[in-house]
Amino acid sequence: MKAALVIMAAGMGSRYGGEKQTDGIGPNGEAIMEYSVYDAIQAGFSKVVFIIKPEMEPTLRNLCGDRIQTMKTKQGDPVEVKYVFQDFSSVPSFYQIPADRKKPFGTVHAVLCAKDAVQEPFAVINADDYYGRSAFTTIYEELMRLEQTGQGTMVGYRLMNTVSDHGTVSRGVCQTENGSLKKVKETLKIKKYPDGSIADIADPEKEVPLAPESPVSMNFWGFTPWIFEEMEEYFTNFLKDLAPDELKAECLLPVLVDKLITGGKLNVSVLDTDAVWFGVTYKEDRPIVEAELKKLHDSGAYPASLKA
């Protein structure tokens, strides 16, 4: 049975100050997403779908897309590569996009753009997060077990390992029970303090402490194509509820997942992993990630270069 890796790479990167999705951070100029692709193919994935802005396609092909098409799966078959575009042309025609809106419509909209390219179970990841090799093996094996409808999965990470010393981050803070996801709250302004404590500071008058051990979603989800119908309905209703002049609101995967769980439509298994996550939210995060990637190459976890 085949599985696809869907990579969300069309974000604006406003806090980072540039196109962090394609920034060469590895010791040989590898972008973080190249490690995810390498690990996914080693795990058994046979298709890679890049969700990008149209103008990114030549850069992404040169960076890694054309090379990935020469790679082989564990079964010896060529890896299939597809490019889909997240832009305003894929927004339903009933919605009039404000003239000043620049920001994409979020992760639900992003994954919906891949609907026609994905016919198999699939994992969804962010382009700018390093998830760890064992996490891809774990989610691939779970994808092979999912029922065609009503089931999904996610890889959970510990909140304390996913925050930045250089500013606030957004995370889907999860409640779990017996290995299943019961609730996920998209928390948009999480701050780490020098003493290691962590809080949601979205309301400046009432900070909410968060347990450092809390499991969080890093947008490492697993679904079957059944989910696209639910996404379409949810995205349509999201647009209908938007104010005519809304410039920044986003339709987010954790919010949709939470709604489907609460409504009894979706069961999501939460996968434990010993993999280490790291990523770049801010420019100041980059030296840490560079050092960690170099360690992985030096230890033999990866070949000398992923560009070879």
Instruction: Say if residue 165's pLDDT is above 60.
Output: yes
In a domain, 257, yes or no: no
Measured between alpha carbons, how far is 263 from 65 in angstroms, rounded to an integer?
39
If one counts every other C-beta atom within 10 angstroms of the C-beta of residue 79, the result is: 19
Which tens digits make up the pLDDT trace of 61-116? 998 899 999 999 888 889 999 999 999 999 999 999 999 998 889 999 999 999 99
In a domain, 205, yes or no: no
Taking alpha carbons only, the member of 68, 1, 66 closest to residue 40 is 68
Top-ranked range on mean pLDDT: pick from 87-96, 171-180, 230-239, 268-277: 230-239
Measured between alpha carbons, how far is 47 from 205 in angstroms, rounded to an integer?
47
Cα 130 to Cα 85, 262, 268: the distances in Å are 23, 30, 22
Question: What is the band of 20 on the pLDDT scale with cuts at 50, 70, 90?
Answer: low
* Mean pLDDT taken over the chain: 91
In a domain, 169, yes or no: no
Split into its structural domains, the chain has a count of 1
Which tens digits make up the pLDDT trace of 104-161? 899 999 999 999 999 999 999 999 999 999 999 999 999 999 999 999 999 999 999 8
In a domain, 266, yes or no: no
In a domain, 280, yes or no: yes
- Strand, coil or helix: 66: helix
In a domain, 121, yes or no: yes
Task: Indicate the pTM of the whole model.
Answer: 0.91
Instruction: Say if residue 21's pLDDT is above 70.
Output: no
In a domain, 103, yes or no: yes
In a domain, 151, yes or no: yes
CATH number of the structural domain spanning residue 118: 3.90.550.10
Q: Give me the domain span that covers residue 69.
A: 4-158+217-251+276-298
